[in-house]
Amino acid sequence: MTPGIRPLIAGNWKMNGTAREAAGLADAVRQGAGAVTGAVDLLVCPPFVHIHAASAAIAFQPIAVGAQDCSPEEKGAHTGDVSAPMLADAGCAYVILGHSERRADHGETDALVKAKAEAAIAAGLVPIVCVGESLAQREAGEAESVVAGQIAGSLPDGFTAAKGVVAYEPVWAIGTGKTPTEADIAAMHARMRQELVARFGEAGQGTRLLYGGSVKPSNAKAILALPHVDGALVGGASLVAADFLAIAAGAAG
């Protein structure tokens, strides 16, 4: 953890579940949240079509709702897209941007992620910008330089003023059950902090840095205790309320 930064545990539900299942999962998180929300911020990010169901189930509890993507455009003829103002109107507080699955499956570039982050900030949303290297890049010794480049290219100038979040997700660890060593995670988060401070000054010291990539109850406490790891972006484990809350408990100490 970074001293003075309140941890954030975010659940990325990806493309899973029905509206009924989303409401049930959100309600289960709500029921168990009281044990951790005194020390940790909780966030759930359901699919677009289930944002309302999840929000209704949370029912004004201290749990934020976010989305998994947004358009860089405010409105217009963009069939199938969802704008940041629409998400804000639906009750979202955060939006995940530049996830490796978006970068890989939809060809999203740093420039596009930056434009989306600008749109999110303009709509009053907190952007969670994802960065991370492939296995080939790590094996080539390029992991830190790749992530530094993504940070430079994906974060807009107003990022820290909007309390933006950066999530490090090594591409090869997402959904595989594999995680980097604790030393690797600590080294990457230290480099990320260095890049943020170099660009944004003191404000970069207060930016929350999340780790994502096969986070689970068995490894969360050790990962969350590392320097500059200020929370987690949780994928598969966030689909089980007990696991998600156990990860949050690891951040709460």
DSSP letter string over 16-84?
---HHHHHHHHHHHHHHGGGTTTT-EEEEE--GGGHHHHHHHHTTSSEEEEES--BSSSSSS-TT--BH
Q: Which residues contact 183 (CB under 8 A, 6 or more apart)?
A: none
SS (H, E, C) 66-86: EECCCECCCCCCCCCCCEHHH
CA atoms lying within 13 Å on the CB side of residue 130: 30
Q: Is 11 a known ligand-binding residue? A: no
178 labeled binding residue? no
Which residues have CB under 8 Å from 77's CB, separation 6+? none
Distances (CA, A) of 122 to 58, 115, 152: 26, 11, 20
Do the annotations mark residue 14 as ligand-binding? Answer: yes
The reply to whether 172 sits in an annotated binding site is: no
Is 99 one of the annotated active-site residues of the chain? yes
Angstrom distance (rounded) from CA 2 to CA 122: 27
Residue tagged active-site, from 118, 133, 169, 195: 169
Catalytic residue from among 99, 108, 118, 189: 99
Residue 169 is a catalytic residue: yes
Annotated binding site: 12-14, 175, 214, 235-236
Annotated binding site for substrate: 12-14, 175, 214, 235-236
Residues labelled as active-site residues: 99, 169
